[in-house]
């Protein structure tokens, strides 16, 4: 990951080592499984949705450092948000990592999540970073599974490298 910024590396490593909200959530009323076949990332998102608000959110799973850090930061960002706010964050994050949103020029609510902007230069990594968001979104929609398989450009030829 030598190409990536130092801040990015520090944050990814920190969240990978000490993922936040990394536990099964007792009392969750939404549970979604996410899978990124390209990298092998797998996670389960637990959500407690109450009156249109994400009261609590957690995840468990295995995967690369980017997917784990992205999941950790996703739970921090979405916890306590309304369904609409969570949807906005999902859209903005997805547009940022696919290069449709210029996080520096356009108004957005991403805050520290903008450190993931760099993954757009590494197509195989976009799915690692967005998997937790797609899984959270599936939970928001009451769906039980999310996969990155049919998302974005065909990346089956893209190299996966650390």
Which residues are at the interface with Zn ion (CB under 5 A)?
Answer: 39, 41, 64, 67, 128
What number of other Cβ atoms are within 10 A of residue 24's Cβ? 11
Supply the DSSP symbol for 127: H
In whole angstroms, how close is the CB of 57 to Zn ion at the nearest point? 20
| CB nearer Zn ion, residue 31 or residue 155 | 155
CA distances from 129 to 43, 51, 76 (A): 12, 28, 15
Q: How far is the CB of 63 from Zn ion (least distance, A)?
A: 5
> Residue 41 pairs with which residues in a beta bridge?
36
Q: Which is nearer to Zn ion, 35 or 56 (CB)?
A: 35
Nearer to Zn ion by Cβ, of 113 and 128: the residue is 128
Which residue number, 36 or 58, has a Cβ lying nearer to Zn ion? 36
Question: At its nearest, how many Å lie between Zn ion and the CB of residue 56?
Answer: 25
Sign of CA dihedral 37, 59, 110, 133: positive
Distance CA 105, CA 140 (A): 29
Minimum Å distance from CB 26 to Zn ion? 28
């Amino acid at each position: 990951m030598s190409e990536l910024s130092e801040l990015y590396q520090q944050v990814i490593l920190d969240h990978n080592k000490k993922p936040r909200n990394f536990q099964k959530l007792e009392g969750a009323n939404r549970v979604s499984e996410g899978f990124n076949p390209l990298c092998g990332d797998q996670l389960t998102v637990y959500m407690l949705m109450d009156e249109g608000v994400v009261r609590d959110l957690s995840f468990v799973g295995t995967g690369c450092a980017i997917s784990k850090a992205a999941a950790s930061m996703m739970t921090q960002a979405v916890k306590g948000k309304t369904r609409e706010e969570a949807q906005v964050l999902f859209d903005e994050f997805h547009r940022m990592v696919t290069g449709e949103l210029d996080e520096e020029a356009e108004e957005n609510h991403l805050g520290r999540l903008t450190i993931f902007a760099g993954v757009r230069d590494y197509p195989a990594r976009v799915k690692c970073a967005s998997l937790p968001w797609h899984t959270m979104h599936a939970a928001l929609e009451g769906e039980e599974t999310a996969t990155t398989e049919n998302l974005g450009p065909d990346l089956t030829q893209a190299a996966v490298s650390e």
